[in-house]
Amino acid sequence: MLGEKYFQLDMSYWGRSRRLVIQILCIWALVAYGLPALVMETNKMNYLGFPLGYYNCAQVIPMFFGALLLIFNHVQEGIEADQMDGKPMVEAASSAALNAVLMKVYVAYTGGFISFVLFLGFLEAVGVPDQAIGILFVIFTLGMYAAIGIASRTSKSDDFYVAGRNVPPIFNGMATAADWMSGASFVGMAGTLYALGYDGLAYITGWTGGYVLVSTVIAPYLRRFGSFTVPEFIASRYQGTVQLPGGKVVEVSGVARFLATIVLLSCSFTYLTAQVYSTGVIVSRFIGIQFEVAVFSGLIGVLFCSLLGGMRAVTYTQVAQYVILIIAYTVPAICMSTTQDDGFNKNNPVEFLVYGGTLQAIALREKEMVLLGLASKVTPYLEPKWRRVDFFALTFCLMVGTASLPHVLMRYFTTPSVRAARRSVTWSLAFILVLYMTAPAYAAFAKLEAVTSVNEAVEACAQATGGDYLLKLKDLKISKDAMVIATPEIAGLPYTIAGLVSAGGLAASLSTADGLLLAISNALSHDIYFRLIDDKASIQKRLFISRVLLVVIALMAAGTAASKPADILSMVAWAFSLAASGNFPALVLGIWWRRANAQGAIAGIICGWGLTLTYLLGTVYGGWELWGGISNVAAAMFGLPVGFAANIIVSLLTAPPPDNVLAMVDSLRDFKVTGEDLTAEELEDIKEKEEALARTQARQVSNTAGATAEATAEATAEVTAEAFI
């Protein structure tokens, strides 16, 4: 009867939800790959001065993803309302009250920051030196982050690991956006578009499209499970036993947990190194110190909040950092936008509607360079230079990697409910789009601002060299990673604006570094130390271990970044491929395929992640040729299908998961079986019961081994039922 009940409920709620997800993903794939496939044809059409193909990838596709998530949320909440007999779901009163308080605090904070910037502008106008203004920017921003960290300090495990699970969706969306829009986005995105032109839009399409996968396929189910970390979910989902050749039976969930933690470490540390690197770039340029010194000095701001308050402090610091970084990114773009007069727009501050004329001017400038002999050949900025398969491969890897990054997924553990997690993803994408809609305009303005005409460049070089040298295109070099920071000065904007941009870049790098450090230290202290080494460790001891690990990992990342291993965006893309090949098959099959078992997950992680890592190391450091011409930034194109195949094949060749795991999977999928979303207080109660159960089991182990096995199975079933029914 129980199995029949599960089946019927699953067909009612899960069936409708599954069909909705399939429909959304089909539309998502059609737009994400259909419009870029037609870029050459649609570039012949114009919209407000824009080549339509370029504009589709730069602006239309990201906005469409946001609209798609709004539709998904609306329909999915309607399905859930049917399960509630039309009664609206009400969020916990504590979350609504916190939302109101935070709104007042951050409105006041935003007003204070704008006033501070205006004050610095006044100081510049009366003759205060630029370096003094830069130092004031650093002191103010780092001081604010430190103050938030002190105010949010905690010694409670729920606050430290998941911010008490009561962060309102809009503020979790802002924190996720800050966590997400790292130095790679702030410093590297516009720089990559500047250098690559159309091909750089693969990053925008991939990173925004990935949030559709997060919202529809993974985040709500992880939130319903209620874990602290991604490895904890994988260990609980992939329970099972294996009989060794000697006859000994061992539990393999610990192996799955260990491998998931290794994947987390590999992708998060690579990503963290990129953030520390970008911090060094910004600080060294901002206050004029050596790059290596800047890298280590930037760690002070990173560590302060993480050490004091864990996820709680990091969350509220990231909201503050989002305010700074988005003001810092959009203000220079708006200032440059108002100077454009292209026949379609004049003094228009809406930058993503204005830069069409700038793109046309870039195309004309490219033709002038060839005619004047400044270049033998120029690849058009608005047309693809890569093969289409390379563009699509990178886009796909970034999308899947977005849905697999542990430090992003763990942000949705902090919301008060499953519905709040879905809404939080939509808010995240909305806040991210503010920057990503601006980045193409920023890159175009920077491309054109270096010199106002080709003749101006020729005359300047002739004057500087007595007329005996002609500067050619191949002689012009600009670091992609420094372009955003340098553009305000190139455009002749006040130094206060340049300082604002540097402060925003610093906020972007520090916010992501905070999240990554927390993800790594939490995984090591909770999933390795507490779950696999010392399951009797007190909360205080676990938090102490986590804080020590924060410092050690930060120093290792700084040492690696100081060696300048690659450009920022390449390091980030490697992290996405490692996360995609290691986590995505285990997460997706664990939620969407009941037959997936522990042996399959272990095989999938080893084969998929192992192949991706091997390809990365071989092509970057081993001198290997590219396989099929696929760049190593899209290395998951090889590891991801192998990971899925290994998981599925091994799962089918071995025993199915135990009944308690199947019941857990059903509870993740079914609305009525799980009941209403658990509040933070209910989750805390469940955690306390689980810890009490663990202590009881430990005492039973000391009495008799045979009795322990039977008691553990019964107790685990009781806790699973209580946590998910």
Give per-residue pLDDT as tens, 424-442: 999 999 999 999 999 898 8
In a shared domain, residues 684 and 614: no
* Mean pLDDT along residues 236-258: 84
Contact 523, 406 (CB under 8 A): yes
Judge whether 354 and 420 are in contact, CB under 8 Å: no
Q: Which residue would you say has higher pLDDT here, 721 or 356?
A: 356
Q: Report how far residue 699's alpha carbon sits from residue 486's, in angstroms, rounded to the nearest whole number.
A: 64
Does any domain span residue 337? yes
Phi/psi region, residue 48 (left: phi>0; alpha: psi -120 to 50; beta: rest), is left
Distance CA 694, CA 715 (A): 9
Mean pLDDT of 9-29: 85
Which of 628, 569, 136, 550 minimizes the C-alpha distance to 302? 550
Same-domain status, 499 and 568: yes
Are 311 and 217 contained in the same domain?
Answer: yes
CA distance linking residue 510 with residue 702, whole number of Å = 47
Q: What is the mean pLDDT of residues 232-241?
A: 91
Residue 219 has pLDDT above 80, yes or no: yes
- Both 569 and 685 in one domain: the answer is no
CB 637 within 8 A of CB 580: no
Is 718 inside any structural domain? no
* 171-185 as b/e: b if 16+ CB within 10 A: bbbbbbbbbbbbbbb
Q: Is the pLDDT of residue 164 over 90?
A: no
pLDDT at 343: 61
pLDDT digits (tens, 9 = 90+) for 686-698: 455 445 545 544 4
Three-state secondary-structure class, residue 47:
strand
506 closest CA partner among 292, 291, 226, 301 = 301
Top-confidence range, 197-211, 295-309, 539-553, 562-576: 197-211
Judged on CB neighbours under 10 Å (0-12, 13-18, 19+), 127 is exposed
Q: Longest C-alpha distance within the chain, in Å?
A: 94
The mean per-residue pLDDT over the stretch 16-41 comes to: 94
Q: Is residue 717 part of a domain?
A: no
The token pair at 242 is 């294996």
pLDDT at 289 over 60: yes
What pLDDT is stored for residue 30 in this prediction? 96
Residue 602 neighbours by CB under 8 Å, 6+ apart: 238, 252, 255, 256, 259, 650
Q: What's the start-to-end Cα distance of the chain, in Å? A: 16
Span of 42-46, 599-603, 646-650 with lowest mean pLDDT: 42-46
Confirm whether 103 is domain-assigned: yes
Q: Output the domain CATH number for residue 114.
A: 1.20.1730.10
Q: Which residue has the higher pLDDT, 488 or 220?
A: 220
Q: How far is CA 156 from the centre of its chain?
A: 26
DSSP string, 96-150: HHHHHHHHHHHHHHHHHHHHHHHHHHHHHHTT--HHHHHHHHHHHHHHHHHHHHH
The per-residue pLDDT for range 628-673, each reduced to its tens digit, is 999 998 999 999 999 999 999 999 999 999 999 999 998 888 764 3
| Distance of alpha carbon 611 from alpha carbon 614, whole angstroms | 5
**Residue with tokens 């951050």, as numbered in its chain:** 106
Tokens for 195?
Answer: 């250098």
pLDDT on residue 478: 56
pLDDT given for residue 717 in this prediction: 41
pLDDT at res. 59: 93
pLDDT at residue 675, rounded to an integer = 36
Report the C-alpha gap between 699 and 708 in whole angstroms. Answer: 9
Mean pLDDT over all residues of the chain? Answer: 80
CA-to-CA dists, residue 84 to 7, 87, 421, 665, angstroms: 19, 5, 19, 21
Asked if residue 575 and residue 689 are part of one domain, the reply reads no
Select the more confidently predicted residue: 7 or 444: 444
pLDDT of residue 134: 81
* pLDDT for 337: 84
Pairing type for strands 46-47 and 50-51 reads antiparallel
Whether 359 contacts 50, CB under 8 Å:
yes
Is pLDDT above 50 for 453? no
Hey, which residues does 482 pair with through a beta bridge? none
Reply yes or no on whether the pLDDT at 151 is more than 70.
yes
CA dihedral sign, ordered 248, 229, 267, 218? positive
Report the share of the chain in percent with pLDDT over 70: 79
Residue 714 inside a domain? The answer is no
Domain boundary among 628, 654, 674: 674
Does some domain include residue 710? Answer: no
Output the pLDDT for position 565: 66
Please tell me the predicted confidence (pLDDT) of residue 515: 80
Do 143 and 221 lie in a common domain? yes
* Mean pLDDT in residue range 479-485: 64
β-bridge pairing 249-251 and 241-243: antiparallel
Are the beta carbons of 383 and 366 closer than 8 angstroms? Answer: no
More confident residue, 565 or 451: 565
What is the C-alpha separation between 42 and 45, in angstroms, rounded? 5
Over residues 19-44, the mean pLDDT reads: 94
Three-class SS of residue 586?
helix
H-run or E-run covering 548 = helix 539-562
Whole-angstrom distance, CA of residue 138 vs CA of residue 155: 29
Same domain assignment for residues 333 and 471: yes
- pLDDT value at residue 21: 96
Structural domain includes residue 656 = yes
Residue 261 has pLDDT above 70, yes or no: yes
**Residue 233 sits in the same domain as residue 279:** yes
Q: Are 403 and 300 contained in the same domain? A: yes
Residue bearing the bigger pLDDT, 725 or 148: 148
Reduced to 3 states (helix: H, G, I; strand: E, B; else coil), residue 50 is: strand
582 and 642 part of one domain? yes
166 token code pair = 């009561």
- Residue 690 domain boundaries: 679-705
pTM metric for this prediction: 0.82
Partner residues linked to 249 by β-bridges: 243
Q: Are residues 545 and 583 in the same domain?
A: yes
- Identify the bridge partners of residue 51 per DSSP, sorted by sequence position: 46
* Residue 169 pLDDT exceeds 60: yes
Lowest mean pLDDT among 163-177, 489-503, 562-576: 562-576
pLDDT class of 372 with cuts at 50, 70, 90: confident
| Within a domain: 147 | yes
- In whole angstroms, give the CA distance from residue 237 to residue 593: 11
* DSSP 3-state of 412: helix
Pairing of strands 50-51, 249-251: unpaired
Task: Give 571 or 238, the one with higher predicted confidence.
Answer: 238
CA distance 514 to 301: 9
Write the CA distances from 560 to 306, 520, 573, 584, 704, integer angstroms.
Answer: 20, 16, 17, 27, 49
CA distance 415 to 224: 10
Q: What does the pLDDT read at residue 676?
A: 41
- pLDDT tens column, 488-544: 777 678 888 888 888 888 888 877 887 888 788 878 887 888 887 887 888 788 778
Judgement on whether residues 76 and 169 belong to the same structural domain of the protein? yes
Number of structural domains, the chain? 2
Token readout for 324 is 């700074």
